[in-house]
Structure 1
């Protein structure tokens, strides 16, 4: 049976990695993974913010079906909520695989609702260690509210002083060794918090009391610290890949790496414009690599448009597991791309975002984008920086894509007008639009 390791970075920019044109050598292990597998140039996250993308990944469906996707971001203010989180009765990638005989674990960030009503162990994962909220200190593991937020299998656990990225990498490697020993097929979701704020590296060595008072760290960080955080995450991924190889699991394991949304303050999104919170390309186009020696030719590059929830459909098909008929997959399996990288599978993709009333759709080379009352039409094949608005030159195409978007949106649960939309940064702090 095929194993799965799904690695999710947090707020990583499109061009932060060397294999995506990065300006510094921060990702030798991920670059090697791309050289031995497939690198997607047109990969997207389901959302430009954390939680909604995670809803889409775990369900394999557009996140807008669920109430929690309206909360941007899902902060610790929602602790105790009975409504906003991933419903335990909803089938998930983890629960479907578990019920088919897989062992399942989440190592890292959850961010899909708080106990006692929500949590990884309620949604198909047999094991979990990591934070429940969106971001924590890398050494003291406190959240935005100053609350300690590191749990293991539902209970608080103390690893104060241990650099979180290293803790997650080591636990992931340990999990792989245990599965090799019992020869069970497995799903390992390795969801890093790196390189999300607060910007702290291993060399810092201990918690910074000033940072811990406000881990959003608006006054701190630098491009150099940010890049080092990527290096340290990359080293952990190298450990995971080495462990798979040493355990003889490399050939039988599909490893996927991507980001939950576009980059933030210190990210490199070139040549894209915008970043986290935006439906411009910089907010939703992400690096994405897949490695599977048995099924992917080395050095492959694919221009197929893909989106986060496609990986759910891909893993289920690779495992021979069917989706729940009540909740059909809305992503598509990418296994045909593994076999034939130049294959083109046309399909529309849609996004909406409460912040600034953003709406977007991509089909083929064309992208429809609306921000508040302004509409844009871009040909991404010739203008991926989204500088030339062709709305007035192609009015019929604009109208057609708008109508197609509206038909799709009408079939999805409407946005909750009372949803919380909280911004970590002010407008001047966000990337240029």
Structure 2
């Protein structure tokens, strides 16, 4: 705690002398949006005009990676700039506190977040959407981790419904639906009707309105608006007006269409699941458009850095193989854009995500960044843009700014690392063209290493580990040198080998 206080005090000193021309920062994070689910990334069925416009006016990253293949650890990596080998939170885990929606495992007091860095530079900070890094009353609460304002879902399980009983404002619960609509149900028989699973107040609209008010209030800036949207994470409960935008024929039962979804893969039933999933993404796209319109209204769009990305890949398969979890038809939409795997996987489809950056006059319109990058990189990138001196602050990223105007990224001192606790324990390492993956790391006998040459095999179809044993050994050694033991998220097969043995992430 004392070390963290010392770092913040040094940042406050720097922030006090920073100049007035720093941009506002809007960071928009979609939830479970696959690499191939936007028009600007090749999607042909789902309408995403506002996000596509962002790409046309900015740069599009083609090899950007999340920090983890599921929600909470991805957000931890983003907020702290520490990859999963150093992160405090390495999987989805509830806090263990009593209560219906206790929230997830909390960030510690020692954690230094991006919000705290920007706040120390004089930024007003607001988070609106899904948090998932610690419930109210704990060290992980967003208002105890650098955010002046928070409104949305503190707990990820509460976010399984778009008509929940309450949302959180700061550390207070605000009732919004009575009765609420639980996010999980099955309907084995009878007519499934989407209207039966809707309530009075649609949470994404309430969250958007709070975010727009934050822009109104802080238009004289600078401000940091963190907008972790909940769409398109299931359950599927999109507004009817968006559902009506998509063909009914998509969901007519046939050899090519599974028809009605009855909740058999979890979450809520839907009579038009393909149309519903597309509608959720289009509704999210409209919310992005509303944010951009509000920035233009105040004349802020030219001095606001807007970043759009996703926390992980599209949702994975379920017991009924006709659908993915929640009734999603990821095959129909080519949700992973031809990449292997989905959410929960450390193959490309689970961790490579769309990423767009817009800042007129600073970022070239229609640009493309092909260099590999990932969530830890936003910590030093936004820190530098805000004027912070992070030379004494531990992080695992590199400044992305040079790549946005065509220059090369700084050489990484370590490979890109994923040290993931869930789904049996998965390790992934990317070093240049090479990607190593090892599964089953929570067992005493994990599966053998896999190795892929992404330059020639982006779909990870051919494991070449036996052909390049030296490359595998070098990458595994680099991973072990660049990880710590995190006792709250153990990987027994790795922890016993980690250099230093008892070293921890704190």
Normalised-by-shorter TM-score class: 0.7 to 0.9
Could you tell me which of 238, 252, 264 is aligned with 2:289? 238
Alpha-carbon offset, residue 74 of structure 1: 2.8
CA-to-aligned-CA distance 1:201-259 (integer Å, 9 cap, x gap): 01299xxxxx9x99951755723211110000000100101111111111111100001
Contact 1:37 1:292 in 2 (8 A): yes
The 2-side partners of 1:22 and 1:33 are apart by 15
Contact 2:346 2:427 in 1 (8 A): yes
Could you tell me which of 210, 214, 217 is aligned with 1:171? 210
Could you tell me which of 370, 382, 389 is aligned with 1:315? 382
Which aligned segments of 4 or more residues in structure 1 are displaced greater than 3 angstroms?
A: 63-67, 75-84, 213-216, 218-221, 344-347, 411-419
Q: Provide the TM-score with structure 2 as the length reference.
A: 0.74
Contact 1:278 1:284 in 2 (8 A): yes
Could you tell me which of 299, 304, 308 is aligned with 2:366? 299
Q: Could you tell me which runs of 5 or more consecutive residues in structure 1 were left unpaired when the two chains were aligned.
A: 142-147, 206-210, 420-433
Q: Is 2:274 aligned against 1:226?
A: no
**Pairwise mapping of residues 11-50 of structure 1 onto structure 2 (< 5 A)?**
11-50=32-71
Partner of 1:124: 146
Q: Tell me: CA distance 1:83–1:174, structure 2 relative to 1, closer, same or farther (3 Å).
A: closer
Could you tell me which of 214, 217, 222 is aligned with 1:185? 222
Partner of 1:430: none
Which one scores higher on RCO, CA 8 angstroms, separation ≥ 6?
1
The 2-side partners of 1:194 and 1:83 are apart by 19
Partner of 2:500: none
Partner of 1:404: 478
Q: Could you tell me which runs of 5 or more consecutive residues in structure 2 were left unpaired when the two chains were aligned.
A: 1-21, 178-199, 243-260, 316-323, 441-446, 493-506
Q: Tell me: CA distance 1:376–1:64, structure 2 relative to 1, closer, same or farther (3 Å).
A: closer
Partner of 1:198: 235
Per the alignment, in what secondary structure is the counterpart of residue 338 of structure 2? coil
Alpha-carbon offset, residue 76 of structure 1: 6.8
Q: Provide the TM-score with structure 1 as the length reference.
A: 0.86
Partner of 1:356: 424
Alpha-carbon offset, residue 272 of structure 1: 0.6
The 2-side partners of 1:92 and 1:28 are apart by 32
Partner of 1:384: 458
Partner of 1:115: 136
Could you tell me which of 348, 352, 361 is aligned with 1:281? 348
Q: Is 2:390 aligned against 1:328?
A: no
Per the alignment, in what secondary structure is the counterpart of residue 466 of structure 2? coil
Alpha-carbon offset, residue 60 of structure 1: 1.5
State which drifts further: 164-173 or 35-44.
164-173
Alpha-carbon offset, residue 418 of structure 1: 9.4
The 2-side partners of 1:10 and 1:194 are apart by 5
Alpha-carbon offset, residue 353 of structure 1: 1.8
Q: Tell me: CA distance 1:82–1:301, structure 2 relative to 1, closer, same or farther (3 Å).
A: closer
**Pairwise mapping of residues 360-375 of structure 1 onto structure 2 (< 5 A)?**
360-372=428-440, 373-375=447-449
Per the alignment, in what secondary structure is the counterpart of residue 150 of structure 2? strand
Alpha-carbon offset, residue 86 of structure 1: 1.0
The 2-side partners of 1:76 and 1:219 are apart by 29
Could you tell me which of 27, 35, 40 is aligned with 1:6? 27
Partner of 1:140: 163
Alpha-carbon offset, residue 393 of structure 1: 1.7
Alpha-carbon offset, residue 24 of structure 1: 1.4
CA-to-aligned-CA distance 1:146-198 (integer Å, 9 cap, x gap): xx341112111133322222222222222112111xx1210000011111111
**Pairwise mapping of residues 75-90 of structure 1 onto structure 2 (< 5 A)?**
75=94, 77-78=96-97, 84-90=105-111
Alpha-carbon offset, residue 274 of structure 1: 0.9
